[in-house]
Amino acid sequence: MNTQRTAVKLTGWSLAFLSFQTLGIIYSDIGTSPLYVLNGIWPSSGPVPSKEDIIGGVSAIIWSLTLLPLIKYCFIVLSFGTGEGEGGSFALYQGLYPRKEVDVDADRTLTGDSRFRESVAVKKTVKQKARWPLLLWCLFGTALTMADGVFTPAVSVTSAVGGIAVAKPSVSKDIIPISIVFLLLLFFVQQFGTQRLAFIFSPISFIWFLILMGTGIYNITFFPGIFRAFDPSRAILLFVRTRDYDLLAGVLLAVTGCEAIFANLGQFNATSIRISFAGFVYPSLVLAYLGQGARLIENGPEVLINVFYKTIPGPPNGPLYWIVFVFGILATLIASQALITATFSLIQQVINTKAFPPLRMRYTSETIQGQVYIPAVNWTLMILTVVIVAVFSDLANLTNAYGFAVATVMFSTSWLIAVQIYYVKRLSIIFALAYFIPFGFFDGLFWGAGLKKVPHGAWVPLLIGSILLGVMALWVWSKGLEDEFDGKNRMNLRHFIRQKQAEAVLDDGSTTESTDMTYYMIKEPAGNPEVTDEKTGRGLTELVRIPTCAIFHKIASGQGVPHTFTGFIRQWPSVPRVVIFLSVCIVPKARVPQEERYAVTKVRTVEGFYGVTYYIGFRDDYDVKIEDLIDKICTIEEQLNPTGSAHVIREIRAVSASATHIAPHYHVVSKTISGRFFAPVVNYLRALLIESLYRRLATMFPETANWLTSADEIIRVGINAVI
């Protein structure tokens, strides 16, 4: 069975429908920027800018949209998703250091040697030396994108609700409470899934972009000379003339949805994203900004109060105004959806690569594995967003905090793409530099403008991102040590269990070989053991055979029996009649037919032991059907021994009426490092991170959270893991 997930490939009407869905998930973030961008450049409390300054500002916006979301992200960055179709900062790291494909057949090999061997010292390449620094940088970019998921709803919804104050100044004090109500509603509906939300949201976003396009064309008629903004020299002259670097922080707000284009790649595919942006979203935004600039030139003081709402055709209380207002509210709620779903997708990536605690995930699509809902993330984002809106009551402070996270992630992406061009695409360093020099320069300019806003609110996303980075770095390091411990302590079944033919006493007092087997645990000689292994000379301890069925769940992949089994046998020296070692493999399709779910391998040298791979689709519930599994085992027995398997099959079915599920629980303990000058300090910090932090997180979020849900009875075998 194919276990490798691939990117979604669609054509024809399916591709057209998927492209339409992207409007409701990806582009509402960048599509609602016209609500606040021009006022972000020229605040309503400041003086009215000159005509040339307005043309220069609109030129800067248009060329930023052209260079970054259109050329950089749509036509370049989307080509660097993972083979599984995922995007985002962490996907770039996976491209540089791809995960090893799991050998599911090896998981069923219980008599193989899976212990870690001493590796021969090999001089590390530059790429290998850069692995940890690149990992931390990618995790930081991922963390800031998650922080962005907090500020996007806060900024966009508050900006849209602010339109009430333009038409009804008396309710200006109620903008924050109204915004919070809308946000609570938004996070509540996340549980219905991306596909259903896209079906509802996409038509609304489509109408919103038509409104932007239509009002833009109408407003351009007030000053057609605004088309001079297509001359990039106008943008350059603006900064040369004013020497105001802070203007760039306002321009940055026009491209805040860039990273969502890449981060949401797992929700859709590259072709659908390119079609929708280049063919519809980009021209709508350009026309909207041109129209706003034209009206600001024509009606400066009147329009500067609120550039978006004051440029709506007709009177402030007219029907068109309220139609635009309603769709503005809806569009900003949908805009928030872009970063929320991107955050779900990014969390899924880092969980699957063991870089984040395994939160409970719920898949919401029958066709696209990247569409997930993560309850813990959803409610955490909701709480943080509501707090941010309540604390940052001033929209200017909100936009300051918002821009920094976006600029940092964009700069991180440019740097990682350049590394991928050289190491993954195998192109010359010249191509990497040809990409990085122009795009790195523009991203660096925006990042510098965002950095200046740290004292004015941008410290909040920086703090959130740093906390998330700390959690992910701790989990990657500690989980790696735990998996290494598991690998070192996995054993070849034949090196631990020995079976011998039992003797039966006949009526005349003589003995003969019985059909039953006696199991022994091999251990080091202690005194004069009653039974000695003739092969190794080591002592043997007889194990009691229990008429039951036990399923040992293998968490990490690899050959041999897991440490859970050896720990269980040492604590309770007994062997169930049927011992199953079960490993779970989630395949890249929604559902797996019941008859195809189990692959069974019987251990020939030790009777009663079976290795099983349990295949499930990403929307299947984890539900091990004992009857179906036993049927599969009995079929294997019958195939191996067509004439003499009847007795064995009856015995297997008799003891498998109920089964006990046994899962590991590692009690991690930090090992002590000696022989170094700073050893006491290192040991203290190591114990603090592993025992006080990681151990508690691992207990709160067990690795079985996403699949061990319907076992009849679970025994957790506690094992001290010195890592």
User: Tens digit of pLDDT for each residue in 9-53?
Assistant: 666 777 888 888 888 778 877 888 898 899 889 988 889 999 999
> Helices in 454-514 by DSSP H: which ranges?
459-488
Contact 465, 147 (CB under 8 A): yes
Which of 453, 479, 509 marks a domain boundary?
453
Query: Do the domain assignments include residue 703?
Result: yes
Whole-number Å distance between alpha carbons of 580 and 595: 18
Query: Do the domain assignments include residue 122?
Result: no
Query: Do the domain assignments include residue 429?
Result: yes
Identify whether residues 434 and 312 lie together within a single domain. Answer: yes
pLDDT reported for residue 8 = 56
Identify whether residues 525 and 426 lie together within a single domain. Answer: no
Query: Do the domain assignments include residue 110?
Result: no
Identify whether residues 695 and 600 lie together within a single domain. Answer: yes
Higher pLDDT, 514 or 392: 392
Query: Do the domain assignments include residue 1?
Result: no
Whole-number Å distance between alpha carbons of 437 and 442: 9
**Would you mind telling me the total number of residues written for the chain in this entry?**
723
Identify whether residues 599 and 509 lie together within a single domain. Answer: yes
Query: Do the domain assignments include residue 563?
Result: yes
User: Pseudo-torsion of CA 169, 173, 175, 178, nearest 10°?
Assistant: -120
> Helices in 162-193 by DSSP H: which ranges?
163-167, 175-188
Domain of 378, CATH number, reads 1.20.1740.10
Query: Do the domain assignments include residue 378?
Result: yes
Please state, rounded to an integer, the average pLDDT across all residues of the chain: 82
Which structural domain range is residue 280 located in? 19-94+131-359+368-453
State the DSSP H helix or E strand holding residue 717, giving kind and residue range, or none if neither. Answer: strand 714-722
Identify whether residues 154 and 262 lie together within a single domain. Answer: yes
**Selection from 392, 467, 389 nearest residue 186 by Cα:** 389
Identify whether residues 272 and 374 lie together within a single domain. Answer: yes
Q: What angle do CA 413, 38, 453 make, to 5 degrees?
A: 55
pLDDT reported for residue 670 = 92
Which of 431, 453, 475 marks a domain boundary?
453
Whether the pLDDT of residue 433 is over 90: the answer is yes
Identify whether residues 568 and 634 lie together within a single domain. Answer: yes
Structural domain tally of the chain?
Answer: 2
Identify whether residues 442 and 522 lie together within a single domain. Answer: no
Highest mean pLDDT among 53-62, 315-324, 325-334, 576-585: 53-62
Query: Do the domain assignments include residue 650?
Result: yes
41-97 pLDDT tens trace: 998 888 999 999 999 999 999 999 999 999 999 999 988 876 666 777 777 887 888
Identify whether residues 428 and 497 lie together within a single domain. Answer: no
Q: What is the mean pLDDT of residues 295-309?
A: 91
Which of 453, 477, 504 marks a domain boundary?
453
Written in H, E and C, the secondary structure of 112-170 is CCCCCCCCCCCCCCHHHHCHHHHHHHHHHHHHHHHHHHHHHHHHHHHHHHCHHHHHCHH
Identify whether residues 433 and 500 lie together within a single domain. Answer: no
Identify whether residues 415 and 533 lie together within a single domain. Answer: no
Identify whether residues 510 and 643 lie together within a single domain. Answer: yes
